[in-house]
Amino acid sequence: MGILIDTDDFVGKWNIAVDDYSEDRLNDYIDTFEKQYLVYLLGVDLFDLFQADLVAQVPQTARFISIFNEFFIDDGTCVFHSEGMKKMLLGMIYFQYVRDNDIKQTPSGTYKNTSELANNFPSFNGVVQRWNQSIENYQTIQWYICDNPTIYTEYNGQLIQHTSGI
């Protein structure tokens, strides 16, 4: 079981069809990247407090619930929207997994590209789009934290950028 996500969460636009072999690989990606991205998001001290606040993968105190769940905030000049930490992580791990595993995403599931006479050149447009959407969530959560410095005094998050996929 991951900190916030499990293999069963990869449905919808983050669909990764899993069998026994791919489920183990996907669990490895969750184990590798989930904590890393949460620590980058929050910083070590705030992450430790966040993780200690979790019960069954859900935070219990208001300050963590505020950044965990989806939110819309209109500050008078801009509307900020985060789909929440869970969807942020799904997109980031989806990107890492699909990019690294030479996998083609189709409406009926996930398939490995094969060819007898040519090298495959998969299109990563949708994969890159999911990464960039996750980065929007990531940056919006960090904006909220920075906009409330007295609530998140332990914050020391790191910036992560969008990608062009090149």
Q: Is residue 122 part of a domain?
A: yes
Q: Is residue 88 part of a domain?
A: yes
Q: Is residue 44 part of a domain?
A: yes
Q: Are 91 and 6 in contact (CB under 8 A)?
A: no
Mean residue pLDDT across the chain? 86
Q: Is residue 153 part of a domain?
A: no
**pTM (2 d.p.):** 0.84
- pLDDT tens-place string over residues 68-116: 999 999 989 999 999 999 999 999 999 888 888 765 555 566 555 555 5
Q: Is residue 154 part of a domain?
A: no
Rg (CA), the chain: 17
Q: Is residue 132 part of a domain?
A: yes
* Number of domains comprising the chain: 1
CA distance linking residue 104 with residue 122, whole number of Å: 7
Token duo for residue 127: 């994969």
Domain encompassing residue 140? 7-147
